[in-house]
């Protein structure tokens, strides 16, 4: 799995540090930074990282692009890079080129009412909590067609997008289609669960990245903050909390990297992909909850203020837990997998990981 030991990941880290620095964004109180950042993302090809070169994309390996998403998590990036990359991946499954500009995928939850496509290719239905729906120029839509699943590229202007925001303040919108004619559509051998699985691994990477920055901030603050004439990092209770936070970060990074490796090697189908993705989603989500609480406890009241960067990381990490199936849904799905296969199927799979 590409981590920081990759040119493309190093480039993304530098770009986010230069153009999406958390403290600079907070102090500016403006979204002007997004335009410059997005121009750079498109120029470098990161927005189309998962689109094959034959379709006009960068054709980057899956594992390296997953590393970019972890870097985006470290920056708590408030821009639809992950959603655009995921939309490009979905379109590529149907051999469709991705347009320029920000995109997002529909649906973004496994229990959404199914979107339907009629024989003429017109889309109908609605989906809730679509990340960055209000900022997308196009939607990559996975829908039930008359002959099976189909992928459609839809102009955002042709759909109805209701206002809404997620826990971190980024758009999360209900998107509705009423006999909408897509720009293009094609049949695809992809199920809703396949899209949810890919999205869950994406979110696990982002959560792991955000937790890495939470740990770095917490350690630095504990070493700088003085109470009773010594740094609070010298107090045993704080040391214990930082050790717990380090454990949560290590766990999230490990499961996210393992899931990304598996999907990169085997795709989104198969027992190994399901086991790894479900485990990553569940464990990373647990780490987001526990890690965010510890980070705020170490920082005290200052971490909750608008002027401090910590809340931009914790709120987004907590919000990412609900996209593409929350930990409860994936826990049930993992339980079904184990119960159906039995130990004769599970143990060899576990032993091979």
Q: Is 129 left (phi over 0), alpha (psi -120 to 50) or beta?
A: left
Task: Check whether residue 279 and residue 162 sit in a common domain.
Answer: no
pLDDT tens-place string over residues 260-315? 999 999 999 999 999 999 999 999 999 999 999 999 999 999 999 999 999 999 99
pLDDT tens-place string over residues 69-91? 999 999 999 999 999 999 999 99
pLDDT tens-place string over residues 100-121? 999 999 999 997 778 999 999 9
Task: Check whether residue 58 and residue 109 sit in a common domain.
Answer: no
Structure tokens at 241: 């909390």
pLDDT tens-place string over residues 239-261? 999 999 999 999 999 999 999 99
pTM of the model: 0.95
Query: Is the pLDDT assigned to residue 98 strictly greater than 80?
Result: yes
The enclosing H or E element of 174 equals strand 172-180
Task: Check whether residue 164 and residue 205 sit in a common domain.
Answer: no
CA angle 274, 319, 133 (to 5 degrees): 90
What is the number of domains present in the chain? 3
Q: Is 190 left (phi over 0), alpha (psi -120 to 50) or beta?
A: beta
Domain presence at residue 82: no
pLDDT tens-place string over residues 43-71? 999 999 999 999 999 999 999 999 999 99
Structure tokens at 49: 């990282």
Neighbours of 189 (CB within 10 A): 10
Task: Check whether residue 183 and residue 199 sit in a common domain.
Answer: no
Q: What CATH number should be reported for the domain holding residue 245? A: 1.20.140.10
Task: Check whether residue 29 and residue 60 sit in a common domain.
Answer: yes
8 Å CB contact between 95 and 117: no
Task: Check whether residue 229 and residue 313 sit in a common domain.
Answer: yes
Task: Check whether residue 71 and residue 113 sit in a common domain.
Answer: no
Query: Is the pLDDT assigned to residue 2 strictly greater than 60?
Result: no
Structure tokens at 148: 């099976």
Task: Check whether residue 175 and residue 237 sit in a common domain.
Answer: no
Range of the structural domain that residue 68 is part of: 1-77
Expressed in percent and rounded to 5, the helix, strand and coil fractions of the chain are 60, 15, 25
Task: Check whether residue 154 and residue 217 sit in a common domain.
Answer: no
Task: Check whether residue 174 and residue 215 sit in a common domain.
Answer: no
How distant, in Å, are the alpha carbons of 37, 115, 295 from that of 121? Answer: 35, 12, 49
Domain presence at residue 97: no
Q: Where is the domain boundary, 137, 163, 190?
A: 190
Centroid of chain to Cα 150: 23
Domain presence at residue 93: no
Q: How far apart are CA 119 and CA 123, in angstroms?
A: 10
The contacts of residue 152 (CB under 8 Å, 6+ apart) are 117, 121, 123, 140, 141, 143, 182, 183, 184, 185
pLDDT tens-place string over residues 152-206? 999 999 999 999 999 999 999 999 999 999 999 999 999 999 999 999 999 999 9
Task: Check whether residue 51 and residue 138 sit in a common domain.
Answer: no
Task: Check whether residue 246 and residue 320 sit in a common domain.
Answer: yes
């Amino acid at each position: 799995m590409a981590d920081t030991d990759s040119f493309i990941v190093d480039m993304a880290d530098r770009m986010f540090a230069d153009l999406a620095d958390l403290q600079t964004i907070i102090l500016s109180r403006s979204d002007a930074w997004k335009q410059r950042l997005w121009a750079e993302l498109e120029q470098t090809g990161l927005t189309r990282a998962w689109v094959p070169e034959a379709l006009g994309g960068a054709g980057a390996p899956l594992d390296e692009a997953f590393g970019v998403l972890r870097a985006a998590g470290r920056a708590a990036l408030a821009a639809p890079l992950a959603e655009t990359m995921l939309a490009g991946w979905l379109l590529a499954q149907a051999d469709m080129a991705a347009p320029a500009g920000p995109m997002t995928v529909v649906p973004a939850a496994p229990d959404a009412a199914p979107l339907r496509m009629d024989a003429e290719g017109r889309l109908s239905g609605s989906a809730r909590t679509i990340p960055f729906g209000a900022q997308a120029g196009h939607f990559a839509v996975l829908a039930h067609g008359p002959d099976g699943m189909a992928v459609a590229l839809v102009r955002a202007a042709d759909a109805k997008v209701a206002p809404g925001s997620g826990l971190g303040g980024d758009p999360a919108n209900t998107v509705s289609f009423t006999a909408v004619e897509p720009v293009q559509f094609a049949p695809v051998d992809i199920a809703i669960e396949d899209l949810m699985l890919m999205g869950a691994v994406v979110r696990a990477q982002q959560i792991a990245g955000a937790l890495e920055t939470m740990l770095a901030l917490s350690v630095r603050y504990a070493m700088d903050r003085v109470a009773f004439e010594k740094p609070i990092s010298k107090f045993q209770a704080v040391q214990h909390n930082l050790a717990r936070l380090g454990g949560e970060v290590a766990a999230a990074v490990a499961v996210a990297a393992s899931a990304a490796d598996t999907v990169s090697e085997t795709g989104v189908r198969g027992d190994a992909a399901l086991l790894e993705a479900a485990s990553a989603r569940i464990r990373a989500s647990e780490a987001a909850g526990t890690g965010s609480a510890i980070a705020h406890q170490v920082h005290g009241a200052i971490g909750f203020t608008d002027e401090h960067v910590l809340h931009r990381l914790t709120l987004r990490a907590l919000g990412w837990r609900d996209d593409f199936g929350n930990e409860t849904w994936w826990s049930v799905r993992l339980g079904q997998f184990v119960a159906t296969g039995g130990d004769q199927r599970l143990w060899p799979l576990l032993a091979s990981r």
